A = this chain, B = another copy of it.
Amino acid sequence: MTERSAYERLKARFGLAATIGECASMLNWDAAAVMPPGGAAARGDQLALLAVLRHQHLTAPEVADDLAAATTDNAWDAANLRLMQRMYRRARALPASLVEAQTKAASACEKVWRVARQRADYALVRPHLAEVVRLTRDSAAALGEALGLTPYDALMDEHQHGIGAADVEPIFAAYETFLAETLPAVERRQAAEPAPVRPQGPFPVVAQQRLCRAIAEGLGLDFDHARLDESAHPFSGGTPADVRITTRYAEDDCTQAILAVVHETGHALYERGLPAAYARQPVGEAAGMAVHESQSLIVEMQAFRSDPFLSWLGGRLHETFGGDPACYRLENLGRLWRHVARGTIRVDADEVTYPAHVILRFRLEQALVSGQLDVADLPGAWNDGLKALLGITPPNDAEGCLQDIHWYDGAFGYFPSYTLGAMSAAQLMQAAREQVAGLDEAFSRGDLSPLLAWLRVHVHQVGSSLGMNAILQRATGRPLDPLAFQTHLRRRYLGCD
């Protein structure tokens, strides 16, 4: 047996770390989708332990030697090695004790947050959030030092490598200006149109489940490698070989279940399309959370909510649920599922106002991490910020700073990904329309496959061999260009060509 090279040893090691991550991913799915409540404490221990084992694995003393000695002979392996170096630097920057403390604090905080949100009682969770923020500041500082980034950028870098606050700030500022002009115009135009008619249920859950599965399958999800289940908050999890998406059903409205399934299917198709030859290697993973979000949003917002797709869907909905066929005609479905409204809840927001929610969080979390904003002052800052952006105020903290799990679960620097993803999705769709003939015609038959084939080549199969801007450059001829999103919104909501 020949001795393995340093790079081969690294591949084996990072492969094992990824496999530990797969175990955690499955147990996270289980916790959200099927676990009985009494299993929560033990599950917390299991996940904390897997995080520690993965961390130990990535920070073992021999990794540094192998990283220094490793050589590669093609671009993919070179990219893989660079990503390993980055993961190693990130992992080494944080002592195991801090990782464990963060996991435990986040788990405890998240538990209290559920109660606090239900009671709209921020004071209840405030000390827990203070502890999470304190540990986040510590880890952001340590990561920033190790990576040569500001603390907040070091957090952002985890979710979307290579993108920092300085990249996002001008984009968000421009969007704020765009929104101030565009939103009133959209509202005026919408007010002049007939109000959408909501189809009357009931929408039996079993029928919704069957339809949702058929839609996901129709979009290209292979259920030999996927599951669709229910959870309180829809998400996509699992592993590339076994993706798990969830949604939630309400008997009186099928909108939420269907749109969540379509969104999560976009995420799942990305995971399924990652380069199998580099499975469990850093370079074989998704290229970051903004790119991930671009894949859910290009399927949900760009393709599925387009006129051609909705006109196909209307027939399926009427077939499944019966009732007044007028509700399922394109004009009404479009008005219903592309309705724009200033609201307090991010996850219920339309695509025009959604970035405002993200901008608010982006600014607040920067201030929390830097220490400029105290955890005690968060509710006020939240309400002021939302007022400035959308002119509305939440009636209570449950609809304000308690609405999202992210911070309470220890995730900072993630929020910008949603809007970067929405913008990337618009830009990718623009390019796909130029490069692939007959997209709309396919959509009008409920057929995503021509778009999916294009995404496979230009995004999915790229894995992490390129960063977000390089993927966009290769696919569309330019790095992130926020104007594509504005063009999309103007066309869809103002009828501008």
List chain A positions with a Cβ less than 8 A from chain B. 16, 19-20, 22-23, 26-27, 30, 34-39, 41-43, 45-46, 49-50, 53, 222-227, 238-239, 241-242
Contacts and interface: CB of A to CB of B under 8 A. Distances in A.
Contact of A227 (B34, B45, B46): B34
Nearest to A29: B30
Contacts of A45: 19, 22
A22 B50 CA distance: 11
Given A22-B46, A26-B30, 7 more contacts: A16-B49, A19-B49, A20-B53, A30-B30, A34-B227, A42-B241, A53-B53
Contact of A37 (B20, B27, B35, B224): B224
A50 B242 CA distance: 18
A242 B26 contact: no
Contact of A36 (B16, B42, B225): B225
A280 to B, nearest CB: 8
A236 to B, nearest CB: 14
B23 A50 contact: yes
B36 A34 contact: no
A224 B38 CA distance: 5
Contacts of A41: 241
Contact of A39 (B20, B30, B36, B239): B239
15 contacts: A19-B46, A22-B45, A22-B46, A23-B46, A23-B49, A26-B26, A26-B27, A35-B227, A36-B224, A36-B226, A38-B222, A39-B225, A39-B239, A39-B242, A42-B239
A93 B439 CA distance: 63
Nearest to A38: B225
A264 to B, nearest CB: 15
A37 B225 CA distance: 7
A19 B45 CA distance: 7
Given A36-B225, A226-B36, A242 B42 contact: yes
Nearest to A16: B49
Contacts of A225: 36, 38-39
Contact of A38 (B16, B26, B53, B242): B242
Nearest to A241: B42
